[in-house]
Structure 1
Amino acid sequence: MTDTPRISAGESQVMEALWSSGPLSADEIVRQVAPAQGWGEATVKTLINRLLKKKALVSERSEGRTLYRPLISREAYLTEESQGLLDRLFGGRLAPMVAHFARQQQLSPEEMAQLKRLIREMDTED
């Protein structure tokens, strides 16, 4: 695992807004995140402050406004979260996780083809 800060589910909503829309003001983040979550302005601003303390965000002044931008990439976040899930539930092993989901979910022919293609690509990289 890396130094990527632990981001809660709520905080991830703020991060998703910033990853998809670039630097945003607090009011813009509130408008993007609050309605779908049923949150008030204070909740979103609390999440922003937590992310600042965790050094997941940085604030910058631009044209008289404070804008927030992520300091970690979505890719780094996904890697950290995925590895955490893998470690907690499957002992860090990918094959049992894939087998579990394949058994629990009905895979479409397209998904099966994607998995086979991925395995072939990984096999040729060796």
Structure 2
Amino acid sequence: MSMEPTIGAQELALLQDIEAHAPATVGDVFARYGRANALARTTVLTMMERLRAKGYLTRVADGHLFRYDVSRPVAQARRDTIAAFVDRTLGGSVAPLCAFMAERGSLSAEERATLEALLRTLDDEGEERP
């Protein structure tokens, strides 16, 4: 089972904002992201500190302020969250997710091509195993 720290949708969106504008102070993030999402400054600070505790952000003192930067990119956060979902909710198997996607039947041509490429990659890796 994956023991990576996971983050919620709001934390992921905040991390994405910080990644796009790093390094950033709490005030910077509040002015840009917090106000746009009707969050109090204290809520933005709490979320940033939680992300720091989970290892997704670092902070460095800059005079009387802290500047936050991304230590694990958004792409890694998504992978961690997906891995935790598969482990926790699907018992470690992606088969239920694939079945859901097939039943839903609403893959775009681009999504289908991406999945087919991933399957080819998995097939290629499987051929190399003894």
* Residues 102/32 of structure 1: CA separation in 2 closer, same or farther (3 Å cut): farther
Q: Structure 1, residues 89-122: CA drift from partner, whole Å, max 9, x if none?
A: 3221113212212212412333323322321232
Give the secondary-structure state (helix, strand or coil) at the position aligned to 1:18. helix
Using the aligned pairs only, state the percent identity: 26
Deviates more, 1:83-92 or 1:7-16: 7-16
Could you tell me which residue of structure 2 aligns to residue 85 of structure 1? 85
Q: Counterpart amino acid of 1:94?
A: V
* Residues 24/86 of structure 1: CA separation in 2 closer, same or farther (3 Å cut): same
Q: How is 1:1-126 mapped onto 2 (pairs within 5 angstroms)?
A: 1-2=2-3, 4-62=4-62, 65-125=65-125, 126=127
CA RMSD across the alignment: 2.4
Unaligned runs of 5+ residues in structure 1 are none
- TM-score relative to the length of structure 2: 0.75
Q: How many residues align?
A: 125
**Larger relative contact order (C-alpha < 8 A, sep ≥ 6)?**
2
Unaligned runs of 5+ residues in structure 2 are none
- TM-score relative to the length of structure 1: 0.77
C-alpha separation in 2, matches of 1:51 and 1:41: 15
* Residues 98/61 of structure 1: CA separation in 2 closer, same or farther (3 Å cut): same
